[in-house]
A and B are shown apart, each in its own frame.
Chain A
Amino acid sequence: MPVWKVVMILNLALAVGLGLGYAAWGRRADALDREIDAARAQVERLERERQACAAGARGGLQQWEGRGVVRAVYPQLLVITHEEIRGLLPPRTTGFRAAAPTLRDPVRVGDAIRFSLRGTVADDATLVAIAPW
C-alpha cells in the first residue's frame, strides 16, 4: 500500500478515535454526573422526609433545619436572617409563616434561634419548631 494511503488511514483512525472517545467519554461523564446529582438529591429528600415522619408529619412532607437571627416578628410571620438551609435556601433574610401563633410568642427581635421547617416545597415551608441557638 502506498505511504500516502497509510497516512490517510492513520489520520482518519486518529480523528475517528478522538471523536468517538471524546463523545463516548464526555457523554458518559455527563450522564454519571447527572445520576450522582439525582441520587444525592433523592437521599437528602428521603432523609428530610424521614425526619418529618419521625416528628409526626404526614407522608410526603419534608423537614428542613436552620439557624438564624430573628429580624422581625409579625402575627403570622417571622423574618429570619439565616444560614444556608440545606436543600431549601441559600443564606439570606427570609420571612417564614409560623404553623401556630404560640410558636412566635417567646421570640424577640435579635434572638439567635434554631428552627425547623416543614412542607413539600420551599413556598409552603412552615415554621414548626423554634429553640434558642
Chain B
Amino acid sequence: MRALLLAALWVHLASCVLLTGAFSMLLLAGPPRTSVARRWDGMVVAWSRLLVVGALGSGIVWLLVRTAVFENRPHAALEAGAAWHAVLDTWPGFVWLARHGLLIVLGAFLAIRADVTEKRNWIAARGEALVLAALALALVSGSSHAAAISPGVVSAVASDITHLLGTGLWIGALVPLALLLRAASRADGADSRPYAVRAARRFSRAALITMLLLMGSGVMNAIVQVESIAGLAGTTHGRLLLAKLAVLVPILVLAALNRARILPALSHSSDTVRRPVMRRLAAFVWLEAGLALVVLALAAAMTLTTPARHGDPVWPLPFRFSLDALPDVPATRWRALLGSQLALVGLVALVASFLVRRRRSPVRTAALALVAIGAGVGLPPLVVDAYPTTYRRPLVTYHAGSIAAGMTTYQERCAICHGITGAGNGTTSRPGTDLRAPPASRRRAGELFWLLTHGIPGRGMPDFGSHLGEAQRWDVINFIRVLGAADDSRRIGPEVEPDRAWLVAPDFTISVGPLAPGALRDYRGQRMVLLVLYTLPGSRARMTELARSYNVLSIIGVEVIAVPTQASPEAIRELGSSPPVLFPVVTDGNADIVATYRMFAPGAHAELLIDRQGYIRAIWREDLAGMPRAAAVQSQVEKLNEEKSPPPFPDDHVH
C-alpha cells in the first residue's frame, strides 16, 4: 500500500513539475519560426496533454490509497463514500480538489487545437498553460508538511511554494530542452539551431537564478522541517534529504559543466563542430533530467515520512561535535579558535575564487586546503562521545512527580556510588562520578539515558536497562538534572538579577481539593507565580500577611501558590478563615512538589518567585534571608515587570 502511494505521488509530482517546466521552456525559447522548432513546440504540447492525463490519473490513485491509509481499511479505497468524505471533509482533500480542478481546466485548454501562429496568441496560450500548471504545482504545499508548521505557517508555505515552483521551472524544463537540442542537432535541423542555442542560453541564465532560489528555499525548508543536525542524520526524513542532496550534487556538476564548457562551444560557426556539441549537450541534459526524476522520487518519499522535527533521532556516529568541552582545557580553546579562523579564511578565499577570474584554480586549491587544515586543527577538540540515543527526546517531562520518583530510584540504586547529593561520594570503595559537575552535567539527557541503560562496563557502572523501565530511567535523569540545577541555584538569592533567567522551574500539578487539577505551566505567559512552601505553625504569620496582600500581588500579576510541607485535605481550613485565604492551596501531591523544590530551597518555609516564562528568579530560603516581607516580593516583581526582552519559554523536557 505504501509503495503504491509513493509511486502514485511520484508520478503525480513528476507530471506537475514537467508540465510547469514544459511551458516555461516554451516561453523561454520564444515563438517558433522554423519547421523543426514548430514540430518541437507541437510535440511538447502533445506530451503535455498526456502529462495532464497522467497527473489526474495518479492523483486519483493517490487520493484513493490515502483514503484507505487514513481509514485503516484497504477496502475504503474502493468506496465512493469514503473517498467523497476524504475530499470534502478534510483540508488535504479540499486542496486536492482545487488542484485537480486546475488540472482539468488545463487539460481542457490544451485540448483546444487553436491557431497560435500569431505571436500574441502563442504567448497567451503558452502563458496560460504555464500559469495553470504552476498553480496546480504550487498548491501542493497547501497540504504538505509546511502547511502544518505552527507558528510561522505563512513563511513555511511561501518557502515551500518557492521550492516547488523552482523545481518546476528548472527540473521540469530539462526534458523539453533536451528534445529541442536533439531535434536541432539532426541533419534536417540546421535552420532551428540558432533558435535552440538561444533557448539553451536563456535556460542557462534562468536556471542559475532558479537554482539560487531553490537553495535558499531548500535551506529554509530544512531549518523549519528538520531543525537540527541530529534530525538530518538520525531520522528517515533527514536521511532522505541527505540522499536527495547527494543526487543533486552530480546534477549540479553536470549543470556547471554544461554552462562553463559546452554552452560556449555552441557559438562555433562551423556545423561540424556545433552539431556534435549540441548532441553532447542534449545527452547531458537527458542525464540531468534522469537524475532529477530520482530527486523527485526522494522528495515524494519525504512527504510520506514524519518530518524530522517530530521524529526521534537515532544518532548514527560514535562521536559528535560540541563546544561544551572547550571551557575545561584552555589549550583546546586556542586550537579550536585557530582552526576555525583558518577554515574561515579558506571559505572567504573559496567564495572569492568564484567571483574573480584571475588565478582561479590555484586560489581555489589553496582555499580548499585551508578549509581542510582548519577542520583538521579545529574540529578534534570539539569531539565528544555520542550514542544512538544522544538526541532522543525524553519520554517524561521535567515534572515534580517524575523528579520525586527519580529521587526514590536514585537513592535505592545510585546513591551508593554517587552519594545522596550526587557529589560522587558514595559508600563504595570505588567512588562514582560527580553528577553535578562537568563532564556529567554537560552530557545530553539522551547520553545519560544510554549510559544508564547500558552501563559503563570498564568503570564499574552497571546497566539498569533490564532492571528499570524506560520511564523510570527518564525519572532518574530528571532527578540528576535537578541535582546539578540545585547546586547552581545557590547563586540565586532574594534579589532578582534582571535579564538573567536560567533556572527552569520544574512543572508540578496544582490540586485544590476535588477540583480539576491545574499545572504550573498553565501560568506561562500569563502570570508570575510565588511558590510558598510552608509549615504550620511556624509560617502562620507569613501566610496571614500573604492572605492580606493577595489582592495587591494579584493586581501586579502574581499568583500565589501555597504548598504545605505536610499533605492534608484540611490544609485550607488549617490556614483559618480570617483573613480569608483566596489563593490556591495545594491539598494533594504535596510530597512531590516539596521534595523537588526543597532541593532549591531547603527549610520549613521557603518562597520562590517564578517569572511568566517559567524560570525561578528569586528564592527566599529560611536559612539565609528568612521569610520575605510583602513589600520585598513586590519590589522583585516590579523588576521582572520592567524586563524588556523576556527569555523564551523553556522546553518541557530536559536536554
Instruction: Give A contacts to B, CB under 8 Å.
Output: 2-4, 6-8, 10-11, 14, 67-69, 71-73, 79, 81-83, 91, 93, 108-110, 112, 133
Contacts of A133 in B (CB 8 A): 513-514
With A3-B116, A3-B124: A69-B572 Cβ-Cβ less than 8 Å: yes
Q: Report how far A8 CA is from B514 CA in the complex, Å.
A: 68
Nearest CB on B from A86, distance (A): 14
Q: Say whether A83 contacts B573, CB under 8 Å.
A: no
Contact with A along B111-135 (1 / 0, CB 8 A): 0101110101111110110010000
Residues 128 to 183 of chain B near chain A (Cβ within 8 Å): 128, 131
Q: Are A7 and B127 neighbours in the complex by a CB distance under 8 Å? A: yes
With a cutoff of 8 Å between Cβ atoms, the chain A residues found around residue B121 in the complex are 2-4
Contact B573 A4 (CB under 8 A): no
B439 within 8 A of A: no
Q: Which one, B127, B128, B131, B514, contacts A112 given CB within 8 A?
A: B514
Are B515's CB and A10's CB within 8 A? no
Q: Is the interface of B mostly helix, strand, loop or mixed?
A: loop
Asked whether any CB of chain A lies closer than 8 Å to the CB of B582, the reply is yes
Q: List 24 A-B contacts (CB under 8 A).
A: A2-B118, A2-B120, A2-B121, A3-B121, A4-B121, A4-B123, A4-B124, A7-B128, A11-B131, A14-B105, A67-B515, A69-B512, A71-B572, A71-B582, A73-B577, A81-B512, A83-B516, A108-B573, A108-B577, A109-B572, A109-B576, A110-B572, A112-B513, A133-B514
Residue in contact with A109 in the complex, picked from B115, B120, B577, CB distance below 8 Å: B577
**In whole angstroms, how far apart are the Cα atoms of A10 and B107 in the complex?**
13
How far, in angstroms, from A71 to B577 measured CA to CA in the complex? 8
- Interface flag for B74 (CB, 8 Å): no
- Which residues of A lie under 8 Å from residue B115 when comparing CB positions? 3
* Given A4-B120, A108-B573, A110-B513: 13 more A-B contacts, CB < 8 Å: A2-B121, A8-B124, A10-B109, A67-B515, A71-B572, A72-B580, A73-B577, A79-B580, A81-B515, A91-B516, A109-B581, A110-B570, A110-B572
Q: How far is the CB of B585 from chain A (nearest CB, A)?
A: 9
What is the distance, in angstroms, from A75's C-beta to the closest C-beta of chain B?
Answer: 13
Inside 8 A of A3's CB, which chain B residues have their CB? 112, 114-116, 121-122, 124-125
Q: How far is the CA of A8 from the CA of B120 in the complex (A)?
A: 12
B584 interface residue (CB < 8 Å to A) = yes
Interface of A is mostly: mixed
CA distance A51 to B275 in the complex (A): 93
Residues of A within 8 A of B123 (CB): 4
Is A83 a contact of B105 with CB atoms below 8 Å?
no
Chain B contacts for A7, CB-based, 8 A: 124-125, 127-128
Q: Mark B555-594, 1 if CB is under 8 A from A, else 0.
A: 0000000000000001111001100111010000000000
Contacts of B112 in A (CB 8 A): 3, 6
Name the residue on A nearest B514 (C-beta): A112
Q: Quick one: closest B residue to A84, CB to CB?
A: B516
Q: Which residues of B contact A10 (CB under 8 A)?
A: 105, 109, 128
Would you call A81 and B584 a contact (CB within 8 A)? yes
**Beta-carbon contact of A109 and B573 below 8 Å:** yes
Q: How far is the CB of B428 from chain A (nearest CB, A)?
A: 49
With the chains together, A90 CA to B581 CA distance in Å? 20
Q: Are A109 and B127 in contact (CB under 8 A)?
A: no
B523 CB, nearest partner CB in chain A, Å: 14
Are B105 and A71 in touch, CB under 8 angstroms?
no
Taking a contact as CB atoms under 8 Å apart, the answer to whether A69 and B513 are in contact is yes
Cβ contacts under 8 Å, B573 to chain A? 108-110
Q: Looking at the assembled complex, report how far the CB atom of A54 sits from the nearest CB atom of chain B, in whole angstroms.
A: 27
Instruction: Provide the residues of chain B in CB contact with A112, threshold 8 Å.
Output: 513-515
Across-interface contacts of A73 in B (CB, < 8 A): 577
Chain A residues within 8 Å of B125, by CB: 3-4, 7
Q: How far is the CB of B31 from chain A (nearest CB, A)?
A: 12
Tell me the complex Cα distance, A110–B131, Å: 69
User: Which of A2, A93, A110 lies in contact with B582, CB distance below 8 A?
Assistant: A93
Complexed CA–CA distance, A81 and B510 (Å)? 13
With A3-B114, A81-B515 in contact, is A72–B572 under 8 Å at CB? Answer: no
Closest-CB distance, B443 to chain A (whole angstroms): 41
Q: Are B582 and A79 in contact (CB under 8 A)?
A: yes
Residues on A with beta carbons closer than 8 Å to the beta carbon of B580: 71-72, 79, 109
Closest 6 CB pairs of A and B: A72-B580, A110-B573, A4-B124, A110-B572, A3-B121, A69-B513
Q: A6 CA to B110 CA in the complex, in Å?
A: 12
CB pair B582 A68 closer than 8 Å: no
Which B residues lie within 8 Å of A4 (CB)? 120-121, 123-125
What's the least CB distance linking A32 to chain B, in Å?
Answer: 15
Bound state CA distance, A7 and B130, in angstroms?
12
A6-B115 Cα distance, complex, nearest whole Å: 12
Which chain A residue shows the least CB distance to B122? Answer: A3
B574 to A: closest C-beta gap in Å = 8
Contacts of A82 in B (CB 8 A): 515
> Once the chains are docked, how many angstroms separate the CA of A11 from the CA of B181?
33
Chain A residue numbers with a CB within 8 Å of B513 are: 69, 81, 110, 112, 133
Instruction: Considering the complex, give the chain B residue whose CB is closest to the CB of A4.
Output: B124
Identify the closest chain A residue to B124 (Cβ): A4
The CB with the most chain A CB atoms within 10 A, among B125, B512, B572, is that of B572
In the complex, A5→B569 CA distance in Å? 81
Distance in angstroms from A13 CB to nearest chain B CB is 9
Bound-state Cα–Cα, A110 to B512, Å: 10
Contact A11 B582 (CB under 8 A): no
CB distance from A124 to the nearest CB of B (A): 22
Minimal beta-carbon separation of A101 from chain B (angstroms)? 17
CA distance A72 to B131 in the complex (A): 69
Chain B residues closer than 8 Å to A69, beta-carbon distance: 512-515, 572
Nearest CB on A from B580, distance (A): 3
Bound: A72/B575 CA distance, A:
11
Contacts of B131 in A (CB 8 A): 11
Question: Please, how many angstroms separate the alpha-carbon atoms of A7 and B577 in the complex?
Answer: 80
Least Cβ–Cβ distance between B130 and chain A, in angstroms? 11
How far in angstroms is the closest Cβ of chain B from A100? 20
B118 / chain A contacts, CB cutoff of 8 Å: 2
Q: A10-B105, A10-B128 are in contact. Are A68 and B572 (CB under 8 A)?
A: no
Q: Looking across the interface, which residue of chain B has its beta carbon closest to that of A70? A: B572
How many Å lie between the Cα of A14 and that of B512 in the bound state?
Answer: 59
Q: How far, in angstroms, from A10 to B101 measured CA to CA in the complex?
A: 13
Please indicate the chain B residues that have their CB under 8 angstroms from the CB of A91 in the complex. Answer: 515-516
Instruction: Name the distance in Å between A12's Cβ and chain B's nearest Cβ.
Output: 12
Distance from A120 Cβ to chain B, minimum over Cβ atoms (Å): 27
